[in-house]
Structure 1
Amino acid sequence: MGDPRPQPPTAQDAATTAEVEYDRALVRRVQGGDPRAFDELVERHKSRVIGTLYHMLGNRDDAADLAQDAFVRAFQSISRFRNESSFSSWIYRIAINTALNFIRLRKAPALSLNEWAEDVEEDPAWKELISRESVHKEMDRGELRERLNEALQKLSKDQRAVVVLHDIEGLRHQEIAKILGCTEATARSRLFYAHQQLQTWLADYL
């Protein structure tokens, strides 16, 4: 049998490619001495970076502060960026590492679930988790979120990072692996065991 015929790019793929190329053009301008191009990169990515950090830390002020730190570090290192990955992956990696260091050094709390639960309601794994028959089926959603939040605080920071990037940001395992500096298999494994642990810890409530 021959190789499967490649699928044509979707509109989303084309849009993503265009976004990546535009970012790379901005990076080249920054490397050429145009600081205004970096301002544009910040404007293009700051909302998602802050959102990701908020879900990691559960505190908006800390998220905003660490996002600023991440962009400062990115600007200071921009000369070493070689366009081998997308700028979005690169800034995510810097932001996530900044958050992980913050969690380790400051013992920051786990992510807040008030908004997280709403973001992942459409995720198939969570649909299965919360749809099972249980004597607690009528539990108030707010109470369920509280229990979920307590369970999430038990996850390791590495597992939490994968949950945020996959279940909230909707990134693919390949992209997550690049951001976290691990193999795709490791990213999948962390997510699998994180979901398993959450299901175990929440068994009495679902």
Structure 2
Amino acid sequence: MSKGDDNRTPPAEGPPDAELVRRVQQGDAGAYEDLVRRHHARIYGLVYNMTSNREDAEDLTQEIFLKAYRSLSRFQGRSSFYTWLYRIALNMTINYRKKRNRKQALSLDEMVGEVKTDPAYTRLHADESPFRNANISEFQKKLNSALQSLSDKHRTVVVLHDIQGLPHNEIAKIVGCSVGTVRSRLFYARQILQGKLAEFAP
């Protein structure tokens, strides 16, 4: 594992991921519980924003960590544990979405708050915005619908970059493409979202 990988891992108290992984591989199940606690929120956030369904996200997140635990003996540290775990989560979530025949609307009381970081949402709340009194719940529904309309590869980069805040180079490692491809997909996805949400723009 390179030093750069460690720098991209979310800040956490306690031993570094690499140390916890080594302990797990030596039979310390408790060390894996530490890894789960450390990364659960972000993996759940990824799955939730990809599926827009709380129950699906909870079940799938459990399956992801179970699969990772069963596969950890083969983890060789060529990437950070964080990147490796994200790859598993992303692959399982995309496979799940492909098998799902229906799309479910995002219930407003299930929103985890990331949508409020969206520039369009921010503009709606700004004092100087003519849309400050607009129907926010309608906007939230339209935003989710727009995100769900994106292909898996485009929705993935929006969720990872715009919602979860991962840098382009980390996303490239997770999805297995070049940084340029990540930027291109992100640009295309944003163009689509802006078009679908044009009615809410100031």
- 1:44 matched residue in structure 2: 38
Inter-CA distance 73–113: structure 2 relative to 1 (3 Å threshold): same
- 1:30 matched residue in structure 2: 24
Inter-CA distance 119–146: structure 2 relative to 1 (3 Å threshold): same
1:62 to partner: Cα distance = 1.0
1:79 to partner: Cα distance = 1.8
Runs of 4+ in 1 over 3 A off after TM superposition: 13-21, 110-114, 120-131, 133-138
The 5-angstrom pairing of residues 143-158 of structure 1 reads: 143-158=138-153
In the superposition, the TM-score normalised over structure 1's length comes to 0.79
Secondary structure of the 1:91 match is helix
Which of 164, 167, 175 is the aligned partner of 2:170? 175
In the superposition, the TM-score normalised over structure 2's length comes to 0.80
Q: Deviations over 1:105-127 (max 9, x none)?
A: 113537838436x4254456875
The 5-angstrom pairing of residues 112-127 of structure 1 reads: 112=106, 114=108, 115=111, 118-122=113-117
- 1:162 matched residue in structure 2: 157
Determine whether 1:77 maps to 2:71: yes
- 2:4 matched residue in structure 1: none
1:17 to partner: Cα distance = 7.5
Q: How many residue pairs get matched?
A: 192
Structure exhibiting the larger radius of gyration computed from Cα positions = 1
Determine whether 1:140 maps to 2:112: no
Q: Is the Cα–Cα contact under 8 Å of residues 92 and 179 in structure 1 kept in the other structure?
A: yes
1:25 to partner: Cα distance = 0.3
Runs (5+) with no aligned partner, structure 1: 1-12
Q: Deviations over 1:166-196 (max 9, x none)?
A: 1111111111111112211111111111100
Determine whether 1:59 maps to 2:53: yes
Q: Is the Cα–Cα contact under 8 Å of residues 150 and 189 in structure 2 kept in the other structure?
A: yes
Secondary structure of the 1:165 match is helix
Inter-CA distance 162–130: structure 2 relative to 1 (3 Å threshold): farther
1:150 to partner: Cα distance = 2.0
Q: Deviations over 1:28-71 (max 9, x none)?
A: 11112222211221121112211221111111111111111111
Instruction: Provide the aligned C-alpha RMSD in A.
Output: 3.1
Q: Which residue identity lines up with residue 145 of structure 1 in the other structure?
A: Q
Q: Which residue identity lines up with residue 153 of structure 2 in the other structure?
A: D
